Amino acid sequence: MTSSLTPPFLPDVIALEEKLEVPLYRKRSFALAHGQGARVWDIDGNSYIDCISGHGVAVVGHCHPQVVQAITYQAQELITCQESFANPARALFLSRLSQVMPPELSRFFLCNSGTEAVEAALKFARVATGRTEIIAATRAFHGRTMGALSATWRPQYRDAFQPLVPGFSHVPFNNIEALEKAVGENTAAVILEPVQGEGGVYPADPGYLKQVKEITHSQGALLILDEVQTGCGRTGHFLAAEHYQITPDIVCLAKGIGGGLPLGVVAVSEKIAAALAPGLHASTFGGNPLACAAGAAVLQIIEQEQLSPRAAHLGTWFVEEIKKLALPAVRNIRSLGLMIGLELRFRCAPYLTALEQQRVLALAAGPQVVRLLPPLVITQEELEQVLAALAIVLGEQK
Ligand SMILES: Cc1ncc(COP(=O)(O)O)c(C=O)c1O
């Protein structure tokens, strides 16, 4: 898939990136040039079904025409506009956001990434409670900046950067007794992912989050839900919190909300907003009109194309079909909507490469979990192709 707008590709894209970037990323063996819906194309024209979606970003699919149109329009109007001036694209995004978020979470802070959303949420919780301690969960992933990293669990991500921010502790996920013991009069907030993503796709047990909310509130602390990966319909509701019938005090969103542009959101109650004042926190790019125009389009698409119920329906069907395959390499399947983790009996890296050869892109969640985060617009036919690839690749021992 090429167009007259295709720029000339440099001959050695991967080698150039590997030479010129700092060595923080392991590059895959082909470079991606185009995307449409749930498909991406490499620079040689090979197409893949994309169950990575830019780490869960492309919820409305790649280059959705409404997102492209919104960005194109906004790029001709105004590309940057700091928050000290109101802007029509931002106001539209905020107004659509307020229609899909729980009515209790009626105030928003806009930023540019998941880690920034978490960072802001932690600061807001400290200011709103006047307390400094944060409790997170084992296996948690909340981002890489120093505050968010302090809430992230894996030593591999943390160790090189010690000392981290003081006041953070971790309790086992889904263990209510451990949490009850940990929360006290100095706790500002408990921060959790409703489904732990990077940690291996572990959904919260039914009832767990409700109990967590009761405990935090009984101690005067707040509950922050990090919905950076679970939000925007991925799990079958706009927020995964809806599965658990709770409204937290603070919600963090990013990834899918910007349709591929950098956009993060922190949603808080009026009460928490009242603890904030001009100058306390800010972001140069926060509320950027281009990102907001894309975000407004994303919210419209999620509603128009009923992507949340679609994720619920397709996710349930897909997981049932995987189970029917009785794949010998798979030990366990955990999922909610189109957030799917296949825990293997072996290390997953060779299986991810083998899936690439079958033209399916998937990612890891820890050493032994294959994670599938397809765009919510993926068709049943495309998912059938993913099933066929899984049957070939996971049907044998690598
Ligand atoms: C639950 C969760 N929180 C925060 C982040 C960090 O987001 P970002 O990479 O945009 O900073 C991620 C990224 O994977 C995530 O999954």
Please give the distance, rounded to the nearest whole angstrom, from the Cα atom of residue 104 to the centre of ligand 1.
24
Question: Is it true that the peptide bond before 155 is cis, omega within 30 degrees of 0?
Answer: no
Instruction: Determine the distance separating the centroid of ligand 1 and the alpha carbon of 218, expressed in angstroms.
Output: 29
Atom number, ligand 1, closest to the C-alpha of residue 113: 10
CA nearest 43: which of 52, 56, 30?
A: 30
Is 70:297 a contact under the CB 8 Å cutoff?
Answer: yes
Alpha-carbon Rg for the chain, nearest whole angstrom, is: 21
Instruction: Quote the pLDDT of residue 248.
Output: 98
Average pLDDT value for the chain: 96
**pLDDT in the model for residue 11:** 73
The residue-averaged pLDDT of 364-372 equals 97
- Secondary element (H or E) of residue 32: strand 32-36
The answer to whether residue 381 scores a pLDDT higher than 90 is yes
Q: What is the pLDDT of residue 136?
A: 99
Please give the pLDDT value at position 6: 60
Which residue in the block uniquely carries the two structure tokens 């397809």?
374
Q: What is the dihedral of CA 100, 305, 200, 180, to 10 degrees?
A: 20
**Ligand 1: lining residues by beta carbon, under 6 Å:** 55, 113-115, 118, 141-143, 193, 197-198, 226, 228-229, 254
**How would CATH label the architecture of 65-304?**
3-Layer(aba) Sandwich (3.40)
Mean pLDDT along residues 255-276:
98
| pLDDT tens-digit map of 38-68 | 999 999 999 999 999 999 999 999 999 999 9
Query: Predicted confidence band at 370 (pLDDT cuts at 50, 70, 90)?
Result: very high
Residue 37 DSSP one-character state: B
Q: What is the pLDDT of residues 191-227, one digit of tens each?
A: 999 999 999 999 999 999 999 999 999 999 999 999 9
Q: What is the pLDDT of residue 252?
A: 99
Residue 3, pLDDT score:
53
Q: Is the pLDDT of residue 397 over 70?
A: no
**Whether the predicted pLDDT of 2 surpasses 70:** no
Whether residue 19 is predicted with pLDDT greater than 80 in this model: the reply is yes
Contacts of 339 (CB under 8 A, 6+ apart): 56, 195, 197, 201, 229, 230, 234, 235, 315, 371, 373
146 has which bridge partners? none
Q: Are 128 and 122 in contact (CB under 8 A)?
A: no
Ligand 1 pocket test, candidate residues 59, 224, 255, most atoms within 8 A of CB: 255
d(CA 133, CA 293) in angstroms, rounded, equals 36
Residue 161, SS3?
helix
Amino acid at 221: A
Q: Which residue has the tokens 């409670």?
A: 129
Backbone angles phi, psi at 214, to 5 degrees: -60, -45
pTM above 0.85, yes or no: yes
Averaged pLDDT, 291-296: 99
Token look-up 């105004």 returns 78
* 44 CA → ligand 1 middle, Å: 31
Biggest CA pair distance of the chain: 63
Residue of minimum CA distance from atom 9 in ligand 1: 114
Q: Mean pLDDT across the stretch 132-146? A: 98
Mean pLDDT of the 352-368 span: 97
Q: Do 391 and 325 form a contact (C-beta atoms < 8 A)?
A: yes
CB-CB contact of 225 with 218 (8 Å): no
Residue pLDDT, tens place only, 81-117: 999 999 999 999 999 999 999 999 999 999 999 999 9
Residue 350, preceding bond cis, omega within 30 degrees?
no
Q: Residue 307: helix, strand or coil by DSSP?
A: helix
**Rounded Cα distance, 236 and 80, in Å:** 34
Identify the pLDDT of residue 165: 98
| Sequence ranges of the domains in the chain | 65-304
Q: In this model, does residue 157 exceed pLDDT 70? A: yes
* Residue-wise pLDDT tens digits, 322-336: 999 999 999 999 999
Substitution candidate for ligand 1 out of 25, 142, 144 with most atoms within 8 A of CB: 142
pLDDT at 398: 61
Beta strands in 227-349 (DSSP E): 250-253, 264-268, 330-336, 339-344
Look at 396 and 15; give whichever has higher pLDDT: 15
